[in-house]
Chains A and B, each alone.
Chain A
Amino acid sequence: MKFITLCGWLSGLLIAGFSPLLSMAQSGAISGEIRHPMTQLPVADANIRLKGTDMGSSTAADGGFLLQQIPEGTYQLIVSHVGFSPWQQKVTVRSGQTQNLRISLTESAEALTDVVVTATRTERSVDEVPMPVQVITEEEIERIGSLRLNEVLQEQTGLQMISDHGAGLQMQGLSSDYILILIDGEPVIGRTAGTTDLTRLTVNNIARIEIIRGPASSLYGSEAMAGVVNIITKGNEPGWNGNLGAQYRSFGTWDTHAEAGYRNDKLSTRIFVNRLSSQGYDLNPETISQTVAPYQAYTFSPKVTYRMNDQLTLRLSGRYFREQREDELDITQNETAVRLASEDAQHDWNVLPILEYRPTDHHKLQFRHYAAGYGTQSDLIYQVDGQTYDASYFDQTFRRSEVQYDWYRNDQHVITGGLGYLTEAVEATRYDNTNQFTSTYAFAQYQWQPTDRWNVVGGGRFDAHSAYANRLSPKLAIGYHPNDHISLQASFGGGYKAPDFRQLLLAFTNPVAGYSVFGSRVVAEKLAALEAQGQIQTVLIDPATIEEIRAESSLAYNVGVKLKPGKSFTLKANLFRNDIQDLIETSPIARKTNGQHVFSYFNYAQVVTQGIEAQADYELLPGFTIGAGYQYLDTRDKEAYQQIKNGDVFQRNENNQTVRVTTAAYGGLFNRSRHSGNVKLFYTNTRYDFSVALRGLYRGRWGMGDFNGNSVLDDEREYADGYWLFNLAVHKNLGEWLRLESGVNNLFGQTTANEPALAGRIFFAGIQWNFNQVTP
């Protein structure tokens, strides 16, 4: 730390390399202690060694170590431990002196692979968390050559991408509406028709992705019903580091990014920029509008961490994203075709300051204030004269202040509690005025490890909201780990999803058909207005008698097993069931004089999703891994199922006769594949420094839509055919800094009208340059 020069790292290496020559000189010692990055508890059994020598040791139970009889000189000290990224530091040993070091392995968990933060909002080893947790590492993201989050997630067992107003994730049979996407623990806001479009999220700056299956509302509140995907962005190694990369793909797609970071004892700062543009593609050439219109998207994301002293750390991070799309379309007006130009833009931003206070090793207090926004603007313009045909916008803001306290009492007990207050506001073309909602919440969690073999996590969260009924979300999870080869886990939890803006605020009358839809907050007022105008013939349900709308809620069960019979084979399986009630659907509330209805939103449907997910990985030869995953999914609308059972649902057979639908013919919810899975081959050649990743992804047939008018999935014609996708990527490292990639996505050019996201065969090639200048 005394010699901060750009070459310090190199000279350290050189001196360390020559140190055996100096072994006859006088000697000194190095002592120190190693601590856990977050808890500051001692880390035992960490490996300590001096690079280029055979001198080394490991830490004792109190985290301490002592290296003696070290010849005078400068060394590169390396600390490693399973679950932490290695630590390197230059140390100068002087004759007769003892250098005392205090090392916190890394300041954050950003680079750690075995530690997860999402499942308990505290840093825990994956093995200690008794819930279905999956970690996708940076290496796994890089080796498939992906650009956006949807490409990474679609290759994971049990996850499905559904095209519905963007690339939406489906997990445990639940759609994007019920999945919370987080960046560094804070929610990505902005949904279109319920979908969080994952193409908004670049993967170039991701250190790892943590996926929790099963409800996590007990910690995260609304929308964490099916699960949570948390993107952990890259952190810094000590010194300067960064990268520049570019990838070119078919359909005129360019992705470029640049990232730079610097870290010393006090300060860590990092900045990331990305640009993605594409000419899009068209699967229906007979129409003028494209399936995916040409677009350009920019992401900018800075972050700074400043350690004021041993107790106080301030973090500040942010993000800005903007995307623009341009297309053309034809409409029919007065029986003549008119061409319009469409311009769509969307943006999101967020700012997150965190103040972290650690008075002692056992206590951690965090204040977080998250502010975020999402907006869209959509304009349709006549190409002839530039006049506006239609313009619409949507603007949402989200602010949340939160305090979280963690008490690491000892190895057995960790207690977490938190309080928060959030404000959400929305302004949009189809809503009147600016609408603001507030919510106050509190959560608590207790992690108990009575013995090495048992883990228990219990907790809950209470949400009081201004626009819908209060919610209590409980959680209990138990893990049992009898030996190194097997671990079992079972969890039970409650999840919920708040009514969305549309369900609360929509004020929409279809100009063509003449029906109206009003959100539950505005229906009484809007209906009264229509009555005053004489547009209402009969009121079917008096708005005064309607109960306050409730959040959609679920009770979920997960039972999992992990087997590791040998070093090279792992098998994971998880049985799940989600019982969802109070699903919000539209129902008529009044009849208009034009014969159409006024609709509003009510809680009534009940849905079940259940199934099993299994994943096996086998290292066939060193560097050659084969993996296979499978999900069986069974979904059901309880009311529809009961009606079918009662013989009250009918279909027309191929002879155009009406027959009763049988329960055997009932296919469950639309857009769900009963069978899905994948097969993956990974090969890494260390001699020539290249890797190959071949993946086959199977999406079984799924219900497309109700073609026969009975509102249930029951007819063979209502299914879209299943398909396989094969993706291939090859990487080659040229020296330490340069990396080349190339590959083909959708190797066999699979396309189907039922999945607009399948563009056909896509070739790609890219290059990335990394730099890393370690300073002591």
Chain B
Amino acid sequence: MKYLFHTCYPLFFALLFLAACSEDEEAPTPVALEVEEATDIPADADVVSGDPSQAPPPEYTFYSLEQGAIIDKADSNSTQWDIALAGTTILVNGGISGPGQGAAQIIEGIFEEIEEAPESGYQTDSESELAIPGGSGNGWYTYTAEGNPPNAILPIPGRVIVLRTAEGNYAKMEILSYYAGNPDTSTEEFASFQTRPDDRYYTFNYVIQTDGSRNF
């Protein structure tokens, strides 16, 4: 089969040519940091999907990063809570959303590598825009629509929410999952609507700096 060599010869060059077009980059080693993890925080989880114009107003879950706990709904008009969750919407306790000093921005980077909160650039929730914007690709998630897995909300890796708590302390958070039990989203079980875990359950990591500085 001396022809085999002839067959492969141009292929070999083509491979070389194509391979030359890509260059490798070394992945930086992430710095290990102690982080708090909030798991399966429900976010208006009982809602039944339907026409949004007919839907009842969202039932927010109020969460305190400072205390690491869900806050009673009765305290929604206080500075007890830092973020409020309903579906994919995240409010911070400030502006139109609450009486606190809450404000936030999304920065791109590796959670562990962010050692200092930015000095400026924070938004508060306003009529025109929330500090943590919604919509696929705009804020913290991608909506897969007809892609694979279908109709899934997937947190975008590297999107870190840096926020000011109601009390004015700085925190950084990274959302890991929007589904109960933080499932592996690459499985067939997740792809199928019959077996996919319930949505509207947040799992996220965060680090809070309580000394008032911007250092994490």
Per the 8 Å Cβ criterion, residues 165-192 of B in contact with A are 174, 176, 184-186, 188, 192
**B112 at interface, CB cutoff 8 A:** yes
| Per-position 1/0 for B178-215, Cβ under 8 A of A | 00000011101000101000000000000000000000
Could you list 16 A-B pairs, sorted by A, with CB under 8 Å? A193-B146, A511-B50, A512-B52, A575-B14, A611-B14, A612-B10, A650-B110, A650-B158, A657-B30, A657-B112, A658-B30, A660-B27, A664-B22, A705-B148, A706-B144, A709-B141
Known: A511-B51, A588-B135. A595 touches B186 (CB 8 A): no
Q: Is the CB of B156 within 8 A of A710?
A: yes
| Per-position 1/0 for B109-127, Cβ under 8 A of A | 1111000000000000001
Partner of A708, one of B27, B50, B127, B157: B157
Of the stretches A303-311, A440-448, A711-719, the one at the interface is A711-719
The docked-state distance in angstroms from the alpha carbon of A591 to that of B135 is 9
Q: Is the CB of A612 within 8 A of B14?
A: yes
- Smallest CB–CB gap between B115 and chain A, Å? 15
Known: A538-B128, A595-B89. A647 touches B186 (CB 8 A): no
Q: Is the CB of A596 within 8 A of B135?
A: yes
Which chain A residue has the least Cβ–Cβ distance from B134? Answer: A595
Q: Is the CB of A618 within 8 A of B22?
A: no
The 5 A-B pairs at the shortest CB distance, nearest first, are namely A705-B148, A650-B158, A709-B154, A514-B52, A717-B186
Residues of A within 8 A of B25 (CB): 645, 647, 660, 662-664
**B69 at interface, CB cutoff 8 A:** no
Residues of A within 8 A of B10 (CB): 561, 573, 575, 612, 614
Per the 8 Å Cβ criterion, residues 629-662 of A in contact with B are 630, 632, 634, 645, 647-652, 656-660, 662
The docked-state distance in angstroms from the alpha carbon of A537 to that of B130 is 11
Residues of A within 8 A of B15 (CB): 632
Is chain B's binding surface mostly helix, strand, loop or mixed? loop
Q: Is the CB of A664 within 8 A of B186?
A: no
**B75 at interface, CB cutoff 8 A:** no
Residues of B within 8 A of A648 (CB): 108, 158
**A389 at interface, CB cutoff 8 A:** no
Q: Is the CB of B188 within 8 A of A753?
A: yes
Residues of A within 8 A of B74 (CB): none
Chain B contact patch, size range: 35 or more
Q: Is the CB of A662 within 8 A of B24?
A: yes
Known: A588-B135, A660-B28. A707 touches B154 (CB 8 A): yes
Partner of B157, one of A513, A651, A718: A651
| Interface-central residue, B136, B141, B192, B194, by most chain A CB under 10 Å | B136
**B34 at interface, CB cutoff 8 A:** no
Q: A670-B148, A709-B154 are in contact. List 6 more A-B contacts (CB 8 A).
A: A630-B7, A650-B110, A658-B112, A705-B148, A708-B186, A709-B156
Per the 8 Å Cβ criterion, residues 8-43 of B in contact with A are 10-11, 14-15, 18, 21-28, 30
Per the 8 Å Cβ criterion, residues 73-110 of B in contact with A are 89, 108-110
Q: Is the CB of B11 within 8 A of A612?
A: yes
**A335 at interface, CB cutoff 8 A:** yes
- Smallest CB–CB gap between B116 and chain A, Å? 17
**B67 at interface, CB cutoff 8 A:** no
**A610 at interface, CB cutoff 8 A:** yes
Q: Is the CB of B18 within 8 A of A634?
A: yes
Known: A614-B7, A630-B11. A705 touches B149 (CB 8 A): yes
Q: Is the CB of A659 within 8 A of B154?
A: no
Which chain A residue has the least Cβ–Cβ distance from B86? Answer: A595
Q: Is the CB of B185 within 8 A of A708?
A: yes
Residues of A within 8 A of B7 (CB): 571, 614, 616, 628, 630
- Smallest CB–CB gap between A509 and chain B, Å? 9
**A54 at interface, CB cutoff 8 A:** no
Known: A707-B186, A709-B141. A287 touches B157 (CB 8 A): no
- Smallest CB–CB gap between A539 and chain B, Å? 10
The docked-state distance in angstroms from the alpha carbon of A538 to that of B50 is 24
Partner of B142, one of A628, A647, A711, A715: A711
**A685 at interface, CB cutoff 8 A:** no
**A429 at interface, CB cutoff 8 A:** no
Q: Is the CB of B50 within 8 A of A512?
A: yes
- Smallest CB–CB gap between A530 and chain B, Å? 12
**A569 at interface, CB cutoff 8 A:** yes
Per the 8 Å Cβ criterion, residues 146-162 of B in contact with A are 146-149, 154-158
Known: A571-B7, A628-B7. A611 touches B18 (CB 8 A): yes
Partner of B3, one of A616, A659, A710: A616
The docked-state distance in angstroms from the alpha carbon of A658 to that of B205 is 11
Residues of B within 8 A of A515 (CB): 135
Known: A660-B28, A663-B25, A717-B186. A706 touches B128 (CB 8 A): no
Residues of B within 8 A of A126 (CB): none
Residues of B within 8 A of A597 (CB): 134-136, 138
Q: Is the CB of A709 within 8 A of B157?
A: yes
- Smallest CB–CB gap between B86 and chain A, Å? 10
- Smallest CB–CB gap between A600 and chain B, Å? 13
Q: Is the CB of A614 within 8 A of B194?
A: no
Which chain B residue has the least Cβ–Cβ distance from A649? Answer: B158
The docked-state distance in angstroms from the alpha carbon of A513 to that of B151 is 10
Q: Is the CB of B128 within 8 A of A537?
A: yes
Residues of B within 8 A of A569 (CB): 3
Residues of A within 8 A of B143 (CB): 513
Residues of A within 8 A of B192 (CB): 284
Q: Is the CB of A650 within 8 A of B18?
A: no
Q: Is the CB of B188 within 8 A of A711?
A: no
**A594 at interface, CB cutoff 8 A:** yes
Which chain A residue has the least Cβ–Cβ distance from B153? Answer: A709
Which chain A residue has the least Cβ–Cβ distance from B22? Answer: A663
Known: A571-B7, A658-B111. A706 touches B142 (CB 8 A): yes
The docked-state distance in angstroms from the alpha carbon of A51 to that of B129 is 88
Residues of B within 8 A of A594 (CB): 52-53
**A286 at interface, CB cutoff 8 A:** yes
- Smallest CB–CB gap between A678 and chain B, Å? 13
Partner of A335, one of B48, B51, B144, B154: B48
**A44 at interface, CB cutoff 8 A:** no
| Per-position 1/0 for A536-579, Cβ under 8 A of B | 01100000000000000000000001010000010101010000
Q: Is the CB of B158 within 8 A of A658?
A: yes
**B137 at interface, CB cutoff 8 A:** yes
Partner of A591, one of B111, B129, B147: B129
The docked-state distance in angstroms from the alpha carbon of A628 to that of B51 is 55
Per the 8 Å Cβ criterion, residues 677-723 of A in contact with B are 704-711, 715, 717-718
Which chain A residue has the least Cβ–Cβ distance from B29? Answer: A659
Which chain B residue has the least Cβ–Cβ distance from A641? Answer: B22
| Interface-central residue, A575, A649, A704, A705, by most chain B CB under 10 Å | A705
The docked-state distance in angstroms from the alpha carbon of A618 to that of B10 is 18
Residues of A within 8 A of B144 (CB): 705-706
| Interface-central residue, A513, A561, A632, A663, by most chain B CB under 10 Å | A513
Which chain A residue has the least Cβ–Cβ distance from B133? Answer: A591
- Smallest CB–CB gap between B159 and chain A, Å? 8
Residues of A within 8 A of B156 (CB): 650, 709-711
Q: Is the CB of A710 within 8 A of B157?
A: yes
- Smallest CB–CB gap between B128 and chain A, Å? 5
Residues of B within 8 A of A575 (CB): 10, 14
Q: Is the CB of A708 within 8 A of B154?
A: yes
The docked-state distance in angstroms from the alpha carbon of A14 to that of B109 is 89
Which chain B residue has the least Cβ–Cβ distance from A587? Answer: B137
Residues of B within 8 A of A708 (CB): 154, 157, 185-186
Residues of B within 8 A of A618 (CB): 3
Which chain A residue has the least Cβ–Cβ distance from B25? Answer: A662
Q: Is the CB of B147 within 8 A of A705?
A: yes
Known: A596-B135, A630-B11. A663 touches B23 (CB 8 A): yes
| Interface-central residue, A569, A618, A649, A706, by most chain B CB under 10 Å | A706
The docked-state distance in angstroms from the alpha carbon of A650 to that of B195 is 28
Residues of A within 8 A of B26 (CB): 662
Known: A650-B108, A650-B110, A705-B147. A663 touches B24 (CB 8 A): yes
The docked-state distance in angstroms from the alpha carbon of A512 to that of B24 is 43
